[in-house]
Structure 1
Amino acid sequence: MKKVLLTTTALVFTAGFAAAEGHSAASITISGEAIAGVKYIEDAAQETTQFLELDFGVSGKTVTDGGLEVGASFDLDLNSGGEAAPDDEEVYISGGGITLTLGDVGSADDSVIANIADIGFDGIGIDDTAEFFFDTTTQNIHVKGEFGAITAVATANMDETGTDASEDYGIAVNYDAGTFSVGAGFTNNADEAGLDEDIETFILGGSVTAGGADINLFFHTADADDFAESVSGYGASVSYPMGALTLVASVGATDLDDDDADFGVGASYDLGGGVSFAGGIGQVDNPFADDDGIMVADMGIKMKF
C-alpha cells in the first residue's frame, strides 16, 4: 500500500517567508520518515536480509484573496537498492469542502475505505493477496468532497503525453461516525495484466473502536469477462494499544481454490520523538499454488521527523 509522508513536520518556513513574499498564509513544509531493519522469508535464496527506506517530502501552500487554498507537493524516496527519484507530484486547489488534485494521485478506494492493517516495521504482506485488486488503478485526477461525516471521492485519467490514457476510474464514499466508519467503492481497471476486458471491483470496508481495540474489516470482489468466475478477497485486523505498546493481529484470504489464509501478529513500541520499534511474524501463502504457506517476519526501527 502507499505511505503518507507529509504528516510530521521537520521544518516549516512560515511568518518570515510569508512576509518576504507578501503572502501571509504561505508556507513550505519539509517532512519525512525512515525505516531500517531485517526481514526473514522462509526458503528464500537468502532467508535473512537487511532493508532500509528513506522517504522525504516537500509541500507548499498558500491562500488566495478569495479564500481558496492552493498547494503542491512531491516526495523523494531512497531504498536499499540505492534507487532514488522524485515521485508523487501533486498540485491541488481546495475550497468549500471540495478539493481538486492533479498529478500522481491515489485511487478513490484507497482514499476513504478502511483496509487490512499489515504488521511489522515495513509490512510482511499479510494484506497483499486479500487486497490484490484494491488501490491498483492509475489515475491523475482526484476530486474529494467533505460534507460533515460523509466524504466522497472520484478519480479518473486524462491524457498527459499525447497517447490515449487508460480508462481507469473509481468512486468511493465513507461515513465516519467517530467510533465507527463504513465505506464503499467501485473501480474500473483497464487493460490490467494484458487482459482484453476491464476489471470491475466492488469494495466494502469499515472500522470500529470497541473495548479499547481498533478493528478493521474489508471485503472486495473483482470480475472481468476474462475471468472464469469473480475473485473475492476479505480480511480483518485488530490493533490494541496499551500505553506505548501496541499489539496487532491480521488475517487475509481469497476464495481462490489454492489459497490458504495469510495471518500474523506483531507489536510496536513508541519510543517517543516520532521513533518506534516494530516487528511481526506470520504465514503468507501463494494463492495460485497448492502448497503450504511460508513463514515471514521482520523487525526494525521506524522514525518520523
Structure 2
Amino acid sequence: MKKVLFASTALIATAGVAAAEISFSGYGRFGIGYLEDRAQSTTVTGAGADGLMGTADDVSAVSSADTDDAILVSRFRLNIDGTAETDGGVQFSARVRMQADENAANGEANNAKLNGARFSVIYGGLRVDAGNVAGSFDNLANYYGNEVGLELFAGQYSGVDYSFLSYQSGDSAGSNAVFFQYAVGDFAFGASYDQAQVTTVAAGGLTSTTTDADRWDVSATYTFNNITAAVAYGQTDGGAGSDPSLTVLTLGAEFGDFSGTLFVADDATEVAATDGTAWGLSAAYNLGAATTLLFTYGDGNADADTQEIAVGAIYDLGGGASLRGGIGRNDCDVCEDRIQADFGAQFNF
C-alpha cells in the first residue's frame, strides 16, 4: 500500500539511530451485505440483587430485534507504523491499528477502536515480532488463498476449527506472543510461541480456575519458479492430556493470468464435532479490462466443519480503488445451509 509519511526527515535520538518516521496506511470499504436468515440480536442488561452477573435473578431487561438479511457493511482500517533504522541497518518498528466495522448481528455502526501493539526487529532475512503478532499459520504462504467478496466472507480454510495465533484488530489486544521468521534464498522458516492461559469461571461466577494453554507453531516455505509450497504445524497445551494440534500443507502457483492454490489440513481439535481433515482450493483469473474473477471452495469431514463455496469478481477502477463482490453458500452436516453475498467499493490509501 502507498504510505503517507507523517515525518520523513531524520529525527536524531541517539548516535546509533540513523532515522525515524511515522507512516499511515490502510483502506476503506462499504457496500451491501446479504446473509440468509441473519441472526436475531438480543440485549440483556442489569444485575440481580447480589450485584453479580451469572445468576438467575440477573436479568432486568431483555430486548430483541429482527435484523434484515441485507445490511450496510463497512470497514475503515488505519495502520499506524513507527519505524527507526540504525546506522548498522537494523530496523525497529511498532504498529497499532485503528479499525471500525459494522455490527454484523444488527446492522448498526461501531466506533473505531485501537488494537494491541506489535513490535518488530528486522535485519536482512531475519524478522522478530513481539506483542500482538501473527503466528506461523497466519503468516503461511497461500493459507488464505483467493478469498471471495468485499468482506472476504469465503475461503479455502473454512474446514479448520483449531484456534491458532493470529493478529487481532479492533478493540482486541491480541496475544502477547513472539513470532520469528528467517528467509534465505528460496527458503523461509517461521515459528511462534504464545505463553497463554485460560481462566474458567464456575457456575455463579464466585470461583475460577486458571490453567496453562501455551501455543506454539513452526513453518517452512519453499518457492521454485512459479510454485510455492508451504507446511506448518502447531499445538496447544490443553491440559488433562489434551493437546489439540493443526498441520497444514499449501501449494500455490501462477501461470500468466491464472493463479491457484491448494489446501489440506489435519485439524486434530480432539473434539468429536470438529476433529478431522480439512481441504480446499481457490483460483483467480485476470479477464483483462481490469476485471479479475475469483473462486474458492473449503470443506472438512467433521460434522461441524463449515463447507464454503463462492465465486466473485474485482473490477479495478485505478488509483487504489475497486468494485468488489461475491456470492456463495455456507453449509455443514449439523447446520442449515445459507446463501451469502455482498457488493461494494474498496479504496486503499
TM-score, normalised via structure 1 length = 0.85
Within-5 A mapping of 1:248-259: 248-257=294-303
Q: Write the letter of the residue equivalent to 2:81.
A: S
**TM-superposed deviation, 1:199:** 1.0
1:189 aligned partner? 236
2:36 aligned partner? 42
Q: Compared with structure 1, are the counterparts of its residues 176 and 124 closer, same or farther at alpha carbon in structure 2 (3 Å cutoff)?
A: same
Within-5 A mapping of 1:1-305: 7-15=1-9, 17-18=10-11, 23-44=17-38, 45-80=67-102, 81-115=109-143, 116-127=145-156, 129-133=158-162, 135-136=164-165, 138=175, 140-158=177-195, 166-191=213-238, 197-227=242-272, 230-243=275-288, 244-257=290-303, 261-289=307-335, 291=336, 293-305=337-349
Q: Look up the SS of the partner of 2:214 in the other structure.
A: coil
Q: Look up the SS of the partner of 1:57 in the other structure.
A: strand
Q: Look up the SS of the partner of 2:138 in the other structure.
A: helix
RMSD between superposed Cα atoms in Å: 2.7
**TM-superposed deviation, 1:177:** 2.3
Q: Compared with structure 1, are the counterparts of its residues 216 and 276 closer, same or farther at alpha carbon in structure 2 (3 Å cutoff)?
A: same
Q: Compared with structure 1, are the counterparts of its residues 278 and 297 closer, same or farther at alpha carbon in structure 2 (3 Å cutoff)?
A: same
Q: Look up the SS of the partner of 2:264 in the other structure.
A: strand
1:3 aligned partner? none
**Contact 1:110–1:134 (Cα < 8 Å) also in 2:** no
Q: Write the letter of the residue equivalent to 1:197.
A: S
**TM-superposed deviation, 1:112:** 2.4
**Contact 2:160–2:267 (Cα < 8 Å) also in 1:** no
**TM-superposed deviation, 1:46:** 1.6
**Contact 1:231–1:254 (Cα < 8 Å) also in 2:** yes
Counting aligned pairs with the same residue, the percent is 22
Moved more, 43-52 or 130-139: 130-139
**TM-superposed deviation, 1:71:** 1.2
**Contact 2:216–2:236 (Cα < 8 Å) also in 1:** yes
**TM-superposed deviation, 1:59:** 0.7
Q: Look up the SS of the partner of 1:121 in the other structure.
A: coil
**TM-superposed deviation, 1:208:** 0.4
Q: Look up the SS of the partner of 1:120 in the other structure.
A: coil
Q: Distance in 2 between matches of 1:294 and 1:165?
A: 37
**Contact 1:106–1:139 (Cα < 8 Å) also in 2:** no
Rg: which structure is higher?
2
Q: Look up the SS of the partner of 1:107 in the other structure.
A: coil
**TM-superposed deviation, 1:196:** 6.8
Q: Look up the SS of the partner of 1:71 in the other structure.
A: strand
Q: Compared with structure 1, are the counterparts of its residues 166 and 245 closer, same or farther at alpha carbon in structure 2 (3 Å cutoff)?
A: same
**TM-superposed deviation, 1:295:** 1.3
**Contact 1:270–1:277 (Cα < 8 Å) also in 2:** yes
* Deviation string, structure 1 residues 24-49 (Cα, Å, up to 9, x no partner): 43222111111101111123352111
**TM-superposed deviation, 1:18:** 3.8
Q: Compared with structure 1, are the counterparts of its residues 242 and 228 closer, same or farther at alpha carbon in structure 2 (3 Å cutoff)?
A: closer
Moved more, 41-50 or 231-240: 41-50
Q: Write the letter of the residue equivalent to 2:345.
A: I
Q: Compared with structure 1, are the counterparts of its residues 145 and 296 closer, same or farther at alpha carbon in structure 2 (3 Å cutoff)?
A: same
**TM-superposed deviation, 1:14:** 1.5
Q: Distance in 2 between matches of 1:260 and 1:165?
A: 29
**Contact 1:35–1:52 (Cα < 8 Å) also in 2:** yes
Q: Look up the SS of the partner of 2:332 in the other structure.
A: coil
TM-score, normalised via structure 2 length = 0.75
Moved more, 224-233 or 60-69: 224-233
**TM-superposed deviation, 1:211:** 4.8
Gap regions ≥5 residues in structure 2:
39-66, 103-108, 167-174, 198-209
* Deviation string, structure 1 residues 95-122 (Cα, Å, up to 9, x no partner): 2421111110001122123123221111
